[in-house]
Structure 1
Amino acid sequence: MTISNAHPAICWQDLPNGIVIQESIEERLAPWWPKVFGYHMLSIGPLSQQIEKPQLPIGKEFSLAPKSLVSVVGDYHHLPIQSSSIDAIVSSFLLEFDSDPYQLLRESDRVLIAGGYLFIIGFNPLSPVFTGKLFPAYQTKVPWCGHFFRPSRVKDWLGLLGYQVLADERLLYHHLMTEVHVGSIWQHALEAWLPSSGSVYIIVARKLESPLTPIQEKQKVRQPNWATAPTAGRNTHAKVDN
């Protein structure tokens, strides 16, 4: 199986329980939008564009994908956008279906300004949703045909790029192969006992203006001043009295 640069889901209905997933994400991200200030927001992928962003103090929102129905048609690995010109980026379920997910993050980092926000949404392999990968009937379907990355690995990538993770949240404790009933006792129990096992993760990160640990200049090592040890004076020739 070759994972392409194009997302197999064009709208949320293309995902199993897609509308429930969308509404859960919108509810969890709602408190974040008023905190994002700036002139330009970039929604990468068709699903990111369709997320409601109420009270977003951003002048203009652009959407980008390899196909139409977006503001800009382009490649995720080579964004046709000037460097350090975007104040916030939203990426929804893209890493799972990309041939080079780290390059996607690097390109997002290139166009994001220092202090800008990066919102990453993905499927958590350490959750009930991974169950679908065990059944042949689901292995070729979305989202199980993609490669699920652990949230910890995504955070490691962000750390290498110089980001501070502000939030790492989970939602929807369900395998998604059947209809999701929000508020079920089983989901509440799983959330209480295994809070990190939510099927969907949301990572909110901010690009740092400087590294967390500044590199200090190496101090010159003071060389010891080795001196010849003093020796007691003595005559080399003894005087013999007659």
Structure 2
Amino acid sequence: MASWRTQHSPDVLLPALRQWFKSSVGRTVLQEERPLINRAVSDNDIAHCNLLKLSVIPDGCPLDAEDYRRQFHLGSPAQYGFSQVLDAICDFQQLPIANESQDVVVLHHLLEFVDNPHRVLREVERIVVPHGKVVICGINPFSLLAMRGLLGKVKRSAMWQNHRLTIHRITDWLSLLGFDVQDVSYGFHRLPINKPAVCMQHRPLPTTIAMGGIFVLSATKYRAPLTPSADSLRSRAQILRHPAMAGATRNIKT
């Protein structure tokens, strides 16, 4: 079983996250995430009915999806005093949502700061409809932003005691859960420093360059048919012509 980095208590972690995302670097991260997430959830191949948003900073989740009929934003009990946009509070590992009821689920900087990200993904798989989509936004471990975080780890900063989740690892998890990764985009190709201001003002680089500080991954849930085909049944019948006689036997002499 994987051993995850212990996170700070919510009363320490949540204020630290809110403070960081209000800095010049944090605001630019949210600004560059917005078009990437909006593009991922505006896919014409999925039904625009139910959209579920799960974020470590609910007030800052950069998402404009007006074409969805119903949108829900859930958070943990610890986030209740820090956010005014939550529709309900819950445990991210036990979502109070019916099976296969959500067309799109957005995980905005959530997997890095929960106790067990794999369990959260399993819960997300339960509630996403077949051919629905999950959109994951996180910090790219192979970037200047993540390198800046190494200093924060040494100082035991609450913001940077996060899980370092690579695209490869998340893709493996999603594959095991029946998802197929469709697209990965990158943003924030900048030096992660607040001063001088020019570091936050240059033009963004193409989203295909994999060294960006953040990534937005979108994956579609596919499910294999459970009813075997007639050809499959016929081939099985040829192998086991007398299924009742397939058990172990022994001869008894009288």
TM over 0.5: yes
Task: Provide the rounded CA distance (Å) in 2 between the counterparts of 1:220 and 1:111.
Answer: 34
Task: Provide the rounded CA distance (Å) in 1 between the counterparts of 2:39 and 2:163.
Answer: 29
Task: Provide the rounded CA distance (Å) in 1 between the counterparts of 2:9 and 2:173.
Answer: 19
Q: Match for 2:224: what amino acid?
A: S
Task: Provide the rounded CA distance (Å) in 1 between the counterparts of 2:90 and 2:8.
Answer: 14
* 8 A contact 2:56–2:113 mirrored in 1: no
- Cross-structure match for 2:67: 57
User: Match for 2:20 among 14, 39, 43?
Assistant: 14
Alpha-carbon distance, 1:159 to partner: 0.7
Alpha-carbon distance, 1:132 to partner: 2.4
RMSD in angstroms over aligned alpha carbons? 3.2
| 1:77–1:55 distance in 2 versus 1, CA, 3 Å | closer
Task: Provide the rounded CA distance (Å) in 2 between the counterparts of 1:150 and 1:51.
Answer: 21
Task: Provide the rounded CA distance (Å) in 2 between the counterparts of 1:86 and 1:165.
Answer: 18
Task: Provide the rounded CA distance (Å) in 2 between the counterparts of 1:174 and 1:142.
Answer: 22
- Cross-structure match for 2:34: 26
Structure 1 runs not aligned, ≥5 long? 224-242
Task: Provide the rounded CA distance (Å) in 2 between the counterparts of 1:85 and 1:4.
Answer: 32
Task: Provide the rounded CA distance (Å) in 1 between the counterparts of 2:152 and 2:132.
Answer: 41
| 1:71–1:19 distance in 2 versus 1, CA, 3 Å | same
Q: Match for 2:31: what amino acid?
A: E
User: Number of residues paired by the alignment?
Assistant: 216
Richer in helix (by share): 2
My pick for the range that moved more, 49-58 or 2-11, is 2-11
Q: Match for 1:207: what amino acid?
A: K
* 8 A contact 1:8–1:142 mirrored in 2: yes
- Identical-residue share of aligned pairs (%): 20
Residue aligned with 2:136, SS: strand
| 1:157–1:26 distance in 2 versus 1, CA, 3 Å | same
- Cross-structure match for 1:206: 220
Residue aligned with 1:116, SS: strand
1:1-242 matches, within 5 Å, as 2-3=6-7, 8-9=13-14, 13-15=19-21, 16=23, 17-35=25-43, 36-47=46-57, 50-66=60-76, 67-68=79-80, 69=83, 70-135=86-151, 139-179=155-195, 180-183=199-202, 188=205, 195-210=209-224, 217=232, 219=235
Structure 2 runs not aligned, ≥5 long? 240-254
Q: Match for 1:60: what amino acid?
A: R
Alpha-carbon distance, 1:51 to partner: 3.2
Alpha-carbon distance, 1:210 to partner: 2.5
Alpha-carbon distance, 1:12 to partner: 5.5
* 8 A contact 1:132–1:138 mirrored in 2: no
* 8 A contact 1:132–1:175 mirrored in 2: no
TM-score of the aligned structures, taking structure 1 as reference length: 0.75
Alpha-carbon distance, 1:123 to partner: 0.6
My pick for the range that moved more, 30-39 or 68-77, is 30-39
Task: Provide the rounded CA distance (Å) in 2 between the counterparts of 1:57 and 1:5.
Answer: 37
Q: Output one character per residue of 1:40-96: Cα deviation in whole Å (capped at 9) or x when no partner.
A: 211112535643443542111111111313111000001111111111111111111
Residue aligned with 2:170, SS: helix
Task: Provide the rounded CA distance (Å) in 2 between the counterparts of 1:175 and 1:144.
Answer: 17
